[in-house]
């Protein structure tokens, strides 16, 4: 299988490596606007060549869009304008509602499969790509009914060969659920980090006293603004809904602490402990 990956950062680069490692792709070429990323992708062997978009699409059986989410909808239209009935286009972005709406009336909509591999790290760029990134993770496919059945089968087979569990959601469900289980985690990490940096002026104290709990909580704060601002903006209303509930829960905790209400604090923490039952099913 000949594959073109548009966007050679963490997700696109890891996808390229995994496809070659599993023998799914015989050839992987890339499209990358950032010259430094293009050079790094070639040097690291993520792709055999970096080509202009039209040239890469023309020779590919599968085209994977792994660019920031605000660029995906128009890029999807541009690519769909060029593909044939034998080619498949997927995206790998973490928002879906706007994308699916924009491409809904395209005459080649059936050649597009909207996907979201539920994996990522706080790092970015080709150097962050790893070969086993997707194994043991879930991938969400949206609007399967709008895609050609054979295209969906092929895409699901690829993801399963990468070791992923395939889930199905509509775009609205996807964006709501990812706001709660993914996007809020990054917001929490960003705000905790800025709070500590604002209030704790001694960097040496942060370094010396911060334990594993703090380090794991702020890990996502290393994530790039270029990746996450488009996600927050595209999923704005779901993220705002999550933030309202999050702030409400923080206020409940604050009020209980102000009143020395240890019983309410215990109830909050005990309820929070229940998350382990969900995560370790």
Residue with tokens 């994530």: 223
Q: What is the pLDDT of residues 58-103, one digit of tens each?
A: 989 999 999 999 999 999 999 999 999 999 999 999 999 999 999 9
Question: Which of residues 121, 153, 169 is at a domain's end?
Answer: 169
| pLDDT value for 134 | 94
User: Same domain, yes or no, for 141 and 208?
Assistant: no
27 and 120 in a single domain? The answer is yes
Say how many domains are in the chain: 2
Answer whether 135's CB lies under 8 Å from 162's CB.
Answer: yes
Of 150, 169, 188, at which residue does a domain stop?
169
Q: What is the pLDDT of residues 7-29, one digit of tens each?
A: 999 999 999 999 999 999 999 99
Residues in the chain, pLDDT under 50: none
The string over 244-273, giving b where at least 16 C-beta atoms fall within 10 Å of a residue's C-beta and e elsewhere, is eeeeeeeeeeeebeeeeeeeeeeeeeeeee
DSSP 3-state assignment of 270? helix
> What is the span of the domain harbouring residue 180?
174-279
Distances (CA, A) of 184 to 23, 74, 117, 164, 192: 36, 26, 18, 23, 12
pLDDT reported for residue 281: 66
Residue length of the chain:
281
45 and 156 within one domain: yes
Assess whether 135 and 246 both reside in one domain: no
Q: Would you state the pLDDT for residue 214?
A: 76
**Do 58 and 158 sit in the same domain of this protein?**
yes
Choose one of 169, 189, 207: the last residue of a domain.
Answer: 169
């Amino acid at each position: 299988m000949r594959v073109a990956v548009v966007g050679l950062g963490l997700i696109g680069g890891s996808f390229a490596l995994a496809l070659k490692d599993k023998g799914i792709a015989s050839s992987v070429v890339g499209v990358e606007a950032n010259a430094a990323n293009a050079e790094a992708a070639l040097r690291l062997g993520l792709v055999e060549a970096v080509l202009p978009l039209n040239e890469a699409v023309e020779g590919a059986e599968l085209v994977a869009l792994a660019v920031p989410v605000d660029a995906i909808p128009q890029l999807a239209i541009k690519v769909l304008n060029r593909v044939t009935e034998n080619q498949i286009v997927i995206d790998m972005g973490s928002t879906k509602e706007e994308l699916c709406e924009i491409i809904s009336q395209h005459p080649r909509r059936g050649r597009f499969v909207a996907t979201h591999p539920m994996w990522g790290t706080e790092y970015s760029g080709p150097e962050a790509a790893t070969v086993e990134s997707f194994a043991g993770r879930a991938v969400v496919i949206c609007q399967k009914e709008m895609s050609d059945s054979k295209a969906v089968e092929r895409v699901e087979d690829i993801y399963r060969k990468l070791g992923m569990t395939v889930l199905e959601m509509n775009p609205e469900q996807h964006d709501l659920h990812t706001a709660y289980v993914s996007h809020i985690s990054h917001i929490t990490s960003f705000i905790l980090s800025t709070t500590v940096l604002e209030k704790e002026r001694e960097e040496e104290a942060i370094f010396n006293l911060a334990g594993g709990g703090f380090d794991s909580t702020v890990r996502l704060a290393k994530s790039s603004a270029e990746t996450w601002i488009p996600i927050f903006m595209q999923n704005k209303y779901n993220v705002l809904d999550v933030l309202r509930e999050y702030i409400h829960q923080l206020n409940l905790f604050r009020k209980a602490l102000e009143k020395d209400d240890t019983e309410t604090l215990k109830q909050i923490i005990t309820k929070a402990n229940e998350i382990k039952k969900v995560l370790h099913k």
